[in-house]
Structure 1
């Protein structure tokens, strides 16, 4: 006989819990992290944090409140309650992670995940995309003897706040190595340190087929030396501060008929198109392949730069024209030569220049001082010449040419075999850099990590690694769905009636938000059952993940 009923919002929690289990993360953490004096082992407390972050994205100090509203045993196992997940138990779990060695633990989990999902084909070239981002923090951290939270270059545009720096390397969107660094670490140094660490983490076969892809901050004499010494392939962007960059662009523009059409790299019909040319040049005593890339698009930053360039250029031209106008020439030919020289000197400007020479009559000064006599003749009149400069707005053709030059960039790579790796593939590998940049949006979403109220810097660092592990789990879920969708005939219908064969992990998590578990009390015994979703796409998503609705009602025993 029916006696009572309770409903628990579960969202994506059971899916995240099952992914954690199926990927085998628990035994790895348990083996490497010393157990504490708490009821739950460290790996289970870490699992609780990952479920919380991926499902509710609530700050750390509200985790116990999160679990008080859910069926905890379905998520974490038999006998676990919300009170087991108090602030002290979770904070001590962070201490244990820190003491175990955060980077080594992350790399072990990440490499295990890559192998489990068979992300890398050892016989094919694959890109390791590397980048950093900063996360601003508030609060005081008096004891920074082990880990420093400092001010540095803020990618959040908050130079007034202290920060930490996340570093991440991904393969097909899945992390392979990551770190949490002091806020004042620059990208040049981060790349040098990360390359060295990565070399100890990749097996010989992966080192042979992996290509380190990073932005222009990687290109320094020291980093190029390290990559050459270790025989690591790389692709990067040659900084515009190098004279060689402008030389290569100029060489490419001089060979207008040599551009190779690449077309659009994205699926969008109105996407950016590219043209490329390649060169061999020497840098720091080594010969590299340089691919000059000409894009059809100019981003908003460069358009803003155009306005500034035109404004500054006009000011400088007006100043130079004013100085020229003060000069006096004795003959029209000299004045015309000065006008021509002025135009030639400023031939690289966007504004158009029109010059003209005008004459003026000037009476000579008297040879003697003092008051002239009545019979003294008037001083002779001479003709002198000046140059007038008119500054006109640039023609659209000139502006468009500027846009094309600004949207041209140079890639550098040590891969000189263009038969094995054509120029177009070099460009494609580099443009996939957006995959690691997209991952940072997950880390930096304020809803996820806004208030980090952790008073010990070491706990801030450990929580940063928990966020990186959450991102790794999220990326694995997205990867599995997209791989399975390759064999599907119909796209997934996502929230907002969007159709996609390549859904984002976030859209999948949003689909699962409505999921709930019901407990029904009959004959004095509680029975669990999942609430059948209104959206049939949810069961399809679970099937793609190798799961079904039973994960919302099953209680597993803790090993």
Structure 2
């Protein structure tokens, strides 16, 4: 009979799931090997366990490093991390030292090794990578030091969070099949064009690391990629690009105008979005030359954007009308001595104020008022007319044809590639996968993930940021692999409100493990025994199977060695 006083129950499913993912990807071994070669002497807790302790906290309920002891206060540490860990060993000095070593070992290199292991372990084929950047606000008063090579800078820059009053860092992320396979932590003032140039320069090493066939590969990014420098570089390195041409570039303006004028004759196609829903498009395909580069263009018209763009254009029409009324009120109060002066002023106003009108036409007219002699006229006579006053009046006319064309133009965008063999449909389909990067940005900025970062050195911030990116890599990997497995088996898991889900999100997958509960018998004189307080449900078993995680991962204690 076991003494009830030595029996504990723990709910560590979500934390244990992150640990299991780390172990399946070999994260502890990779980090131990990289950091062990720097320090030289074995630590009391393996560096891989230090990293996992921080990542578990990031994914669950992020607390500052100084409060991690509080976070793990009621946790079976040995059962969770599969290594003897005492609560008093968890302190911010330990994690600060770990971040220093992690930075010195090359966090970017370690991330790349983990990404390569993930691709290989789960048999994921990478053909295209979508690249983009985002910013994260830094709330501390960081000094910006010049001349320190290789160290990121917390600095002011174009804030994608619309916080131009705060310093920031930036993240460059590359996604394939919704999975983060490449990532870089950047200085806060790094612009997207330079990021793309640097990424293209390093692309051969990235593709080699991920075992990607360069002949079939496409580098996909937003309009920041479109520049003569990047086109020159991609030609030099024999890299195929897919990007969007900015709307203010002449070839884009001309191509959109051509598509709008031929809208009824354009080819209609459908592209399946991330939710499996077909989205209609009309496409104009053509070839053009830009800065001595032959490009394949696809001018895409999206009818589904019409309602949104109509609201946008309607607001612009209203603003333009308000500007016309303001000018009209000012002009109508001005008096001119002769018709020539009034006509001259109409021409000035037309060229100065109304030259760029998009939605209205203006009708001008002259209003005449008699200018009579002052004073009371003689009895029975009218005041003598001395001349005339001239006033300019204008009336705006809404041009519905211009508005319709403006809406149609707003529904168009121009994609291009330096691969002249690609079809317009393939160009659009591949570019639309850019949404996968945006979804990772949402997670990166989520306050439930890591709300804010404040560390005392840029090196520690960079190291901490790469741990965040490893977390996103693992969670996106879990989502991809589980969805793939469920699709192959035509199966589902039970999500919130007992919903049957064939395409669960990473958040749903993570939350499923809340149901894991273990029982621990804390013997004072021999190893503790762990067992499940209730059996694992079928959804958990399916997820573990797809991710190649053994079912005893939550109860095996420290018998497992890295």
Calculate the TM-score normalised by the size of structure 2: 0.84
- Structure 1 residue 101 and structure 2 residue 106: aligned? yes
SS in structure 1 opposite 2:488?
coil
**CA pair 2-49 structure 1, distance change in 2 beyond 3 A:** same
By how many angstroms is 1:161 displaced? 1.3
Alignment of 1:98-497 (within 5 A): 98-120=103-125, 126-142=127-143, 144=145, 145=148, 146-203=151-208, 206-266=213-273, 272-298=279-305, 305-306=312-313, 308-318=315-325, 349-351=358-360, 355=363, 360=368, 388-392=393-397, 395=400, 399-417=403-421, 421-497=422-498
Indicate the larger mover: 17-26 or 174-183: 17-26
Note the residue ranges of structure 1 that are not aligned, 5 or more in a row. 366-377
Indicate the larger mover: 457-466 or 500-509: 500-509
Residue of structure 1 in register with 2:31 after alignment: 29
Residue of structure 2 in register with 1:10 after alignment: 12
Residue of structure 2 in register with 1:375 after alignment: none
Q: Is the 8 A contact 1:514 1:533 kept in 2?
A: no
Calculate the TM-score normalised by the size of structure 1: 0.85
SS in structure 2 opposite 1:446?
coil
Q: Count residues in correspondence.
A: 536
Q: Is the 8 A contact 1:34 1:100 kept in 2?
A: no
**CA pair 216-503 structure 1, distance change in 2 beyond 3 A:** same
Q: Is the 8 A contact 2:138 2:454 kept in 1?
A: no
**CA pair 65-385 structure 1, distance change in 2 beyond 3 A:** closer
Deviations 1:163-217 (A, max 9, x none): 1101111211222221111111111111111211222222285322221111111
Q: Is the 8 A contact 2:60 2:449 kept in 1?
A: no
By how many angstroms is 1:400 displaced? 4.4
SS in structure 1 opposite 2:518?
strand
Give the distance between the partners of 2:144 and 2:388, measured in 1 at CA: 80
Give the distance between the partners of 1:21 and 1:487, measured in 2 at CA: 25
Give the distance between the partners of 1:310 and 1:72, measured in 2 at CA: 63
Residue of structure 2 in register with 1:20 after alignment: 22
By how many angstroms is 1:60 displaced? 3.0
By how many angstroms is 1:232 displaced? 0.7
Give the distance between the partners of 2:499 and 2:405, measured in 1 at CA: 39
By how many angstroms is 1:410 displaced? 0.7
Give the distance between the partners of 1:23 and 1:275, measured in 2 at CA: 43
Note the residue ranges of structure 2 that are not aligned, 5 or more in a row. 374-382
Give the distance between the partners of 1:50 and 1:72, measured in 2 at CA: 14
- Structure 1 residue 520 and structure 2 residue 521: aligned? yes
SS in structure 2 opposite 1:244?
helix
SS in structure 1 opposite 2:72?
helix
**CA pair 108-534 structure 1, distance change in 2 beyond 3 A:** closer
- Structure 1 residue 551 and structure 2 residue 558: aligned? no
Indicate the larger mover: 541-550 or 127-136: 541-550
Q: Is the 8 A contact 2:335 2:389 kept in 1?
A: no
Give the distance between the partners of 1:499 and 1:326, measured in 2 at CA: 75
CA RMSD of aligned residues (A): 3.6
Give the distance between the partners of 1:529 and 1:520, measured in 2 at CA: 9
By how many angstroms is 1:22 displaced? 2.0
